[in-house]
Each structure stands twice: as C-alpha cells, then as structure tokens.
C-alpha cells in the first residue's frame, strides 16, 4: 500500500515539475502587469496586442509555413526512404541507418555551421529556401525513426501474399502497406513539425536577412526583455498542439477498435 502511494506521489511530482512552467506561462499570459513576478489582475490585453504586433505575426507565419512545408516533404521522403531501407540487406541497412542517425546525434551547432557552409559553397543565398532545406535535412531522420518500427511489426511475407492474390506492387503499397504504417507516418510528421517549430540553432545559421522564425525572434527579444505577447502566443500554441494530440489519439483509438472488430 505504501509502495503504491509512493509511486503515485513520485509520478505526481515528476508531472508537476514538467508542467509547472507551462501552467505559470499560461497564468501570466493573463496578467495585467508586464512583469512575471507581480500579479496585478486578470486581463486579455496581451492577446489583443499579440494580433496587432506585425513583427511577431510575421515570425509566426514563417515558423508555421516552414514547419508545415518541411514536415510534409520530410514525411514523404522519410516514408519512401524507410521502405527502401527496410528492403535492404542487413549489413547495408545497418550502415544506412548509422548514416541516417548522424543528423539526430550531431550537435545542432555543428549541423547549422555545416549547412551554412554548404549553402555558401553552392552559392545559395541564405533566406527562406535555405531555411526550408535545413529543416528538411534534420526532419527526415525523425520520420525514418518513426516509420521503420512500424514496418518491422508487419507480418512476414505480407507483400508477397498480396502479390500472389493478384495485387500489383503499387496497389499493395497503397492499400496494404501504407494503411498499416499510417500511425508511424503520422508520428513522424508530428516529430518533424515539432522539431521544426522548436529549432533555434540551425535556423539561426541558415535563415539569412529578412527571414525570421519565432525562436530567433524570441532570442532577439531576450536581449531587451521578453514581451508578454509571447506568453499569449505560447499559450495559444500549447492549446492548439494539445487539441491536435487529443484528436489524433481519439482517431487512433477508434481505428484500433475498428480493426479489432474486423479481425
């Protein structure tokens, strides 16, 4: 009994440690004071001010555009690459995976400097294109790491069975393989999207003049003091991500139940 109570208390403390900063940020987004050390009453003025701040809205536009674009492209490339890697022989597959994992394990500052040097070498002007390519570069490995486990969970000779029953390779891929690995593809997309929004170091080295995302904008604000509008924006982004996760988990649960009923 005491052991179970201790485990529950330990779990509660861990979650409190993880989410207390987020709850504090949400709370002070409604604070009437610019200082996060003093509570002066409830207000919505920072949310109104947020939608009138063109600089933050521009940074948000670039952030969402780059995140969505790089996540979609990374998901397509990563999914196709995962299928190709899965079909390789063991030794070649291990070598390819080790190379694929380098952008994940490599320090961000090394990746950022390397990409900046590469773009300079090929005379690609730093800007929106270079930023998008950089985010695709570190997004693809996360998609591969999400999709490959789902491919390994597939029954052996599933594709051969479909071909024996008259399906073409493309039909088997579209109607059998893709639906079964769809949770991995969705997880890879969310990972690439989240990592893109969260990235600062690589973006800092590859963005160039005239293009900035939220992480760079917040970094520039930190020198003068973080504006309360950032708290409001962070709260809205947290709520959007939370709602998306709830919808995806609900949809996944329903699909899992339907598949169980079919089998």
Residue-wise pLDDT tens digits, 176-221: 888 888 888 988 998 899 889 888 899 999 988 888 888 888 888 7
Q: How far apart are the C-alpha atoms of 74 and 68, rounded to whole Å?
A: 10
Tell me, what's the pLDDT at 221?
79
Residue 47 tokens, joined? 């949310």
The secondary structure of residue 154, as a DSSP letter, is: S
CA-CA-CA-CA dihedral for 155, 157, 161, 164, to nearest 10: 170
In angstroms, the Cα distances linking 128 to 24, 162, 210 are 34, 44, 9
SS3 263: coil
β-pair partners for 42: 31
The kind and range of the H/E element at 249 are helix 228-262
Are 225 and 96 in contact by the 8 Å Cβ rule? The answer is no
Other beta carbons within 10 Å of 162: 18
Other beta carbons within 10 Å of 228: 23
Tell me, what's the pLDDT at 223?
72
Q: Which pTM was predicted?
A: 0.81
The secondary structure of residue 209, as a DSSP letter, is: T
SS3 29: coil
Tell me, what's the pLDDT at 260?
34
Residue 242 tokens, joined? 């939370």
- Mean pLDDT (the chain) is 85
pLDDT less than 50: residues of the chain: 257-263
In sequence order, the 6+-apart residues with CB closer than 8 A to the CB of 217 are: 55, 56, 59
Tell me, what's the pLDDT at 252?
59
Q: How far apart are the C-alpha atoms of 172 and 227, rounded to whole Å?
A: 53
Question: Domains of the chain: which residue ranges?
Answer: 40-258
Q: List the Cα angle 33/24/29 in 5-degree steps.
A: 40
Select 40-258's CATH number: 3.40.50.300, 1.10.3720.10, 3.20.20.10, 1.20.120.330. Answer: 1.10.3720.10
| Start-to-end CA span in the chain (Å) | 40
Tell me, what's the pLDDT at 263?
32
Are 145 and 190 in contact by the 8 Å Cβ rule? The answer is no
**pLDDT tens, residue by residue, 230-244:** 888 888 888 887 887
In sequence order, the 6+-apart residues with CB closer than 8 A to the CB of 248 are: 186, 190
**Spatial CA neighbour of 107 closest among 223, 205, 184:** 205
Q: How far apart are the C-alpha atoms of 121 and 81, rounded to whole Å?
A: 27
């Amino acid at each position: 009994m005491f052991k179970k109570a201790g485990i529950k208390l330990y779990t509660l403390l861990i979650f409190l440690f993880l989410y207390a900063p987020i709850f504090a940020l949400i709370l002070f987004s409604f604070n009437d004071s610019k200082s996060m050390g003093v509570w002066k009453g409830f207000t919505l003025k920072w949310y109104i001010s947020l939608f009138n701040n063109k600089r933050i809205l521009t940074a948000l536009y670039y952030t969402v555009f780059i995140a969505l674009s790089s996540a979609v492209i990374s998901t397509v490339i990563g999914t196709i690459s995962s299928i190709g890697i899965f079909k390789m022989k063991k030794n070649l597959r291990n070598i390819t995976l080790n190379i694929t994992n380098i952008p994940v394990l490599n320090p961000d500052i090394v990746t950022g400097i390397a990409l900046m040097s590469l773009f300079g070498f090929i005379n690609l002007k730093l800007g929106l294109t270079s930023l998008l390519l950089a985010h695709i570069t570190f997004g693809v490995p996360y998609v591969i790491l999400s999709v490959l486990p789902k491919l390994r969970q597939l029954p052996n000779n599933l594709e051969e069975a479909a071909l024996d029953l008259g399906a073409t390779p493309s039909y088997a891929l579209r109607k059998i393989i893709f639906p079964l690995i769809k949770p991995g593809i969705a997880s890879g997309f969310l990972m690439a999207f989240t990592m893109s929004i969260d990235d600062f170091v690589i973006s800092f080295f590859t963005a160039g003049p005239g293009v900035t995302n939220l992480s760079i904008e917040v970094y520039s604000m930190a020198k003068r003091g973080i504006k309360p509008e950032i708290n409001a924006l962070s709260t809205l982004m947290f709520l959007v991500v939370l709602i998306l996760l709830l919808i995806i988990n609900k949809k996944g649960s329903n699909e899992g139940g339907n598949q169980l009923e079919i089998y």
